[in-house]
Amino acid sequence: MKIQVKLPQHEYQLTIEKNLLNRVGHWVKTLWEPQKIMIITDETVASLYGDQVVTDIRSAGFDAEILAVPAGENSKSLQQAALIYDALAQKGLTRTDGIIALGGGVVGDLAGFVASTYMRGLHFLQIPTTLLAQVDSSIGGKTAVNSPQAKNLIGTFAQPDGVLIDPATLQTLEPRRVREGIAEIVKSAAIADKELWAYLAALQDENELLIHAEEIIAACCTIKKTVVEQDEHDTGIRLILNFGHTIGHAIEQTVGYGIITHGEAVSLGMIQIAQQAEAKKEMPQGITRELAAMLTKFHLPIVLEQWEEEKLYTALTHDKKTTHNTIRIVLLTEIGHAKVTRIPIEEMKTYLKK
């Protein structure tokens, strides 16, 4: 399946096909002229797919090398980016060369950030290997690294030249990483697709979801590409994709990157914002119950035992959606539809109450 992303200055294709990774060299050759390529991955993904991918890309006529960073959210840092810049310079990459991200959301964000800033921009391709990256982070051109103050605080908008999505890579994911991606799938359905929500509601568990991964990934990609085409730089409608993320990012930062996954934090963030908005009559009654039932079915958390309101509030004041003394939050008008609301930053304290 192919999905075309059409932006004013750039157009590219998402290709979703099982076992497409086995033909990765041919795919790259359809997009790029012969050039030097640095394949950025993490140590876990490198052990699974690194040799296969670099060999196939070399056989297609490219001068390719692989660079593996430590797995985990801690690699999304300026320190790690600096190490990659050094490696690119040593290999002699120039602005006519390219970077391929092979891995999950951390690798995609880090590699994209490096590709968009080294020599002011190299060619860039995304090969997401996790469910989270396949349904969300590999699409739309957001790249970033974390800072001690906030997640994704330092970043760029840099669209890839193409995205290769092979659902077969999901077979090597541990269950917790599968559930991490399901949180973003539930979010996508909640904000924009009643039919997808009904489809998910009919599934028994995450194992059944994986059987239908290709069509579910395609549905989520279609939602995101439609939103991104309307608002590439995240100033309007694209903000609906942040449902659960404002509080979720604060949870990640306070609990600790890697201790809690992004999907787990988003799951908690969706429930928290929904139950408080429902109590304030800003969302329809019963939505929190529906969200909780869906997330619980897929073994995602809906309660965080150590809830520290002050620390969470301090963390979210650094959120990118904060402007002066206000912040934009995402609320559901019903399952399948969302809206963005601007509120005083102080009011966020009421959404953090337990």
Residue 66 corresponds to which tokens in the numbers above?
A: 């692989």
Q: Please state, in angstroms and rounded to a whole number, the distance separating the CA atoms of residues 182 and 333.
A: 22
Average pLDDT score over residue span 2-21 = 95
Tens digit of pLDDT for each residue in 137-182? 889 999 999 888 778 889 999 999 999 999 999 999 999 999 999 9
pTM (two decimals):
0.93
* Beta-carbon contacts of residue 71 (< 8 Å; ≥ 6 apart): 42, 43, 44, 45, 106
Q: What's the half-sphere exposure (Cβ side, CA atoms, 13 Å) at 12?
A: 25
In the prediction, which pLDDT does 150 show?
77
Q: What number does CATH give the domain 175-351?
A: 1.20.1090.10
% the chain with pLDDT above 90? 88
324 pLDDT tier (thresholds 50, 70, 90)? confident
How do the domains of the chain map onto residue ranges?
Answer: 2-172, 175-351
Tens digit of pLDDT for each residue in 39-96? 999 999 999 999 999 999 999 999 999 999 999 889 999 999 999 999 999 999 999 9
Across the chain, mean pLDDT equals 95
Average pLDDT score over residue span 118-127 = 96
Tell me how far CA of residue 303 lies from CA of 145, 190, 243, 253, 269, in angstroms.
27, 19, 17, 17, 10
In the prediction, which pLDDT does 224 show?
95
Q: Please state, in angstroms and rounded to a whole number, the distance separating the CA atoms of residues 263 and 247.
A: 12
Amino acid at 210: L
Average pLDDT score over residue span 222-240 = 92
Q: Is the pLDDT of residue 257 over 90?
A: no
Q: What number does CATH give the domain 2-172?
A: 3.40.50.1970
Chain centroid to CA 117: how far? Answer: 20
Q: Please state, in angstroms and rounded to a whole number, the distance separating the CA atoms of residues 172 and 251.
A: 27
In the prediction, which pLDDT does 321 show?
66
Residue with tokens 């928290």: 272
Amino acid at 255: V
| Strand order across the beta sheet in which 98-103 lies | 2-7, 10-16, 162-165, 123-128, 98-103, 36-42, 63-69
